[in-house]
Amino acid sequence: MKILLINDYGVPAGGAECIVLSLRDELRRRGHDARLFASTAAIAGLPNLADATCHGTSGPLRTPLQCANPWAERALERILADFRPDVVHVNLYLTQLSPLILRALRGTPSVYYAQWYRAVCPLGTRRRPDGTSCEAAVGTACLRSGCLSAQSWPLLMLQARFDRAWGGAFHRVTAISQAVAERLDTYGAHHLRGATVVPPGTAVVEPRHDFATLPEIVAAGRLVPEKGFDVLVRAFRLVAARLPDAKLVIVGGGPEAAILGRLAASLGVADKVSFPGHLSHAETLTRMRGAWVTCVPSVWAEPFGMAAAESQMQGVPVVASRTGGLAEIVRDGITGRLVEPGDVDGLAAALLGMLADRKTVASMGRAAHADARERFDLPGFAARFEAIYRELAAR
């Protein structure tokens, strides 16, 4: 089959990008002609791995471009005419490519894979600035709550209107987790409801047979408030008081980097907490594989939590927040532990329970790997979408 994958970014910078790139490569291994169309927007100086691109920007004109990107629409029209794909698979498109691309898709079998809440929230988080969950529909509430500025609100409301008007171009809607599917049902336009849940996959590897001599926790992600890394640093202070040899490694970059460094210093654990910054995907997995446990302390309803699934595939148990897609990944007491989001004491207790017993870590790690092999393997992920592609093409 000829499959065109569409994503806002073609750089391997985040979970969504790694998912779409790995899916493209796996589809190619399975004999399909799979190509990726993305914008030229750059992230952290990483290479753009898309097969075809259109204009994108990370500068001040990004918000108008999110509303209407005519370069993306015209480029997509040319690709559809030249490549003539059997099916189009759309991932992220509302932060660069804009809803204009949906006009070009009319008449082409298309599936949307919702990987976050952007289709039902201009910020993609369903979370207010004060940290509370948003239960309001997209509209004036976005302005009143302070989520959007007076300058960006009109453009993003126009984007939402375009998306509703042209969303019928999708012949099938899928979601990365039940958490995302439920929010599409609750807050989404009619065409977004009833999404099929398709968990993503990661490359299958053998489980690890050994890990660090001293207790080590690894966490990875964008250093932004909703990821809850401040909660983890506070919890680690309690861990370090009981286990002086314990170490914490937080991988990633973002606006919270300096804040987290100062927090670690103020709590007296700066010598035990390291921030290596942004690492490649392979380097991040290597760090995870050597840890006793990984931690995903998100304080928002994480749409999925790719770091948790990848950690389990490496054979590393996970301590995560009981929220969003994370609660669907970690089997509490079997492949890791789940704690309430924002609960410093609860997170510390869960981490201490793991780090105090090397045998428990090893046993949970084996269970985590077996579970990931069954639910989150890359070939299985590609096969599930293959079935959807064939169904759409047959129509």
pLDDT digits (tens, 9 = 90+) for 201-213: 999 999 998 999 9
The reported pTM is 0.93
Query: What is the sign, positive or negative, of the torsion defined by CA atoms of 263, 266, 268, 274?
Result: positive
**Which CATH topology does 2-201+377-394 take?**
Rossmann fold (3.40.50)
DSSP string, 22-81: HHHHHHHHTT-EEEEEEE---STTPPP--SEEE---SSTTHHHHHH--HHHHHHHHHHHH
Domains 2-201+377-394 and 216-375 belong to one CATH topology: yes
Domain boundaries, given as residue ranges, for the chain: 2-201+377-394, 216-375
Three-class secondary structure of residue 276 per DSSP: strand
Residue 261: predicted pLDDT: 97
Average pLDDT over residues 13-39: 95
- Of the candidates 45, 38, 13, the one whose C-alpha atom is nearest the C-alpha of residue 24 is 38
Residue 243 pLDDT grade (very low, low, confident, very high; cuts 50, 70, 90): very high
Cα distances from 312 to residues 17, 73, 232, 306, 320, in angstroms, run 20, 39, 19, 10, 12
How far apart are alpha carbons 197 and 176 in whole angstroms?
Answer: 6
Looking at the predicted structure, is the pLDDT value of residue 308 above 80?
yes
Q: Look-up: residue for tokens 């979408």?
A: 385
- Polymer length in residues for the chain: 395
Q: Are strands 318-321 and 293-296 parallel, antiparallel or unpaired?
A: parallel
Q: Which two tokens stand for residue 365?
A: 């790690």
pLDDT value of position 145? 93
70: confidence class by pLDDT, cuts 50, 70, 90: very high
CA–CA gap between residue 247 and residue 287 (Å, rounded): 12
pLDDT at 44 over 80: no
> Hey, what CATH class is 216-375 in?
alpha beta
